[in-house]
Structure formats: C-alpha cells, structure tokens
Amino acid sequence: MGNHISVADVEDHYPEQSWQRLVFADLKSTLTSTSRPFPCVFGASAIKSRQLRVAFVDPLTPDHLGPILREYITHARDYGRMTSLVVFARPGPVRDMKSYEDQLWTLLDGMERTDTTPRPPAIPAEIDHPNWEFCYAGEPIFVSCATPAHVLRASRRSATFMAVFQPRWIFKGIMDSDEPAVQRSLHNIRDRIMAYDAVPVFPYLGSYGNPEAREHVQYFIYDTNERPACPFHQLGQTNRPNEGEVA
C-alpha cells in the first residue's frame, strides 16, 4: 500500500525497473521538459522545488488511500506553498475514458463514505453548487485526473491512472487575485494549454465560487469539450455528522 514520499526520494524507495519508477519518470519528464513545456508553470515549479508528494497505491481503494491522504493533509503546509499529492495506480491495459472517469468518482465517493471528519460547514454537500469541493479530513481539496486514455488533451495524459489532490488553500492569492502579475501568469497558462493540447481549451473552466462555474466538471475532462454530467447528487451518502453535531 505504501505512503506518500517526496519526489526526491522515489529513486531511493523503488528499483529502477519497478512500475513506480516508470510512471514517476513519465510524470517528471512531462513537468520538466524544456522542449515541450508543460502548461501549468506552478506544477513544474512544484516538482523542481520538491514540494510535490507522491503515493503509489496498490490497490487504489478508499481504504488504502484514506490514511495516506489524511496524513498528507495533516502536514501539507510543511511541504510548501505549491504542494500537491500525486497518486498513481498500478498500470494495466488501457481502458476507455468513461471507465477511468467512473474509477475517479467511485474512489472519491468511497473516500467520503469512510471519512470520519465532518465536512466544513462552508462547503455544501450538493455537488452541483458553485461552492462545492471534495473534502477529506476537514480539508477542501481540488482533484484532477490524468489517464493513458487521453490523447488529444495531452495536458491530462499520464502513463497510468493518476489523481492529483490539491488543498484549496494553495490557490489563495493565485486564482482569486487581481494582481497584474498573477493575471499574466494565468493568461500565459491558458495560452500554453492552447499550444500543448490538440483540442481547444475546455470551455467550462471557471473560478471557485463563480455562480456559473462548477468544480466537478473540472475534475475529469475528456478529450472532447463536452460538459461532464454531475456524477452524484452528493458524495458519501452516510450518517456522518455535520460540523457541530454529535455523532
């Protein structure tokens, strides 16, 4: 099952021809390429500054991922301003994209079912809401998924099923900033996406909290620009208490 480790420690933990080393090498080459720069400059900076944490979870189930994600969240602020947790599944035969999308949402649903920490009161449970976000261990987390089935949208391609968990606090001062330098960086990322992908920029990208935007449509983006359907009314339909209630 393993735990999360620094990107600097992958070579020390896994043999050269292990699947862990191979899928990580693919990610590292993607994020650090100089001939074909990855669109998200923040992701490239995070791996170079060793703020990314990685976990190779086999099998990738809520029971196995839960303790890893909880431990990561507990110490995330110690890893740096641009930290994220990158989770890899063991590689297998390439499947259709819908199968990978179902895998992501089944994983997130199971995570919320097994979470013992109340959802933050400011984050609604209803997915089709501008303020919804996946939450775990009391932390709102933006999730994105990359798969080997992605071809045209190269910015969402990976060697295996890969989910990236980003605490929402890392976006403060970036996604919600009107500073000219920040806005130039965001426009630059958009321009780089247009050059990187063989499909137009996903039209449903939006800022968190914007009444017209929804976070869930950005978690798993197809090679086409169709708007994903809302996968659930809400995740983890359990009797878990809300903040302030007694279980």
Q: What is the largest CA-CA distance in the chain?
A: 56
Tokens representing 191 are 């321009």
Average pLDDT, the chain: 91
State mean pLDDT over 176-186. Answer: 68
Tokens representing 43 are 């992701």
157 CB-side CA count, 13 A: 20
Q: How far is CA 244 from the centre of its chain?
A: 29
Per-residue confidence (pLDDT) for residue 184, from 0 to 100: 76
Tokens representing 223 are 């090679």
The secondary structure element, H or E, covering residue 184 is helix 180-196
Give the confidence band of 175 by pLDDT, cuts at 50, 70, 90: low
List, edge to edge, every strand of the sheet that includes 5-6. Answer: 5-6, 52-56, 84-88, 162-167, 139-146, 134-136
Q: Which of 137, 115, 124, 153 is nearest to 214 (CA)?
A: 124
Per-residue confidence (pLDDT) for residue 243, from 0 to 100: 47
Q: For the segment 12-64, what is each residue's pLDDT rounded down to a tens digit?
A: 999 999 999 999 999 999 999 999 999 988 888 999 999 999 999 999 999 99
Share of the chain above pLDDT 70, in %: 91
pTM score of the predicted model: 0.93
Peptide bond into 200 cis (omega under 30): no
What is the number of other CB atoms lying within 10 angstroms of the CB of residue 153? Answer: 23
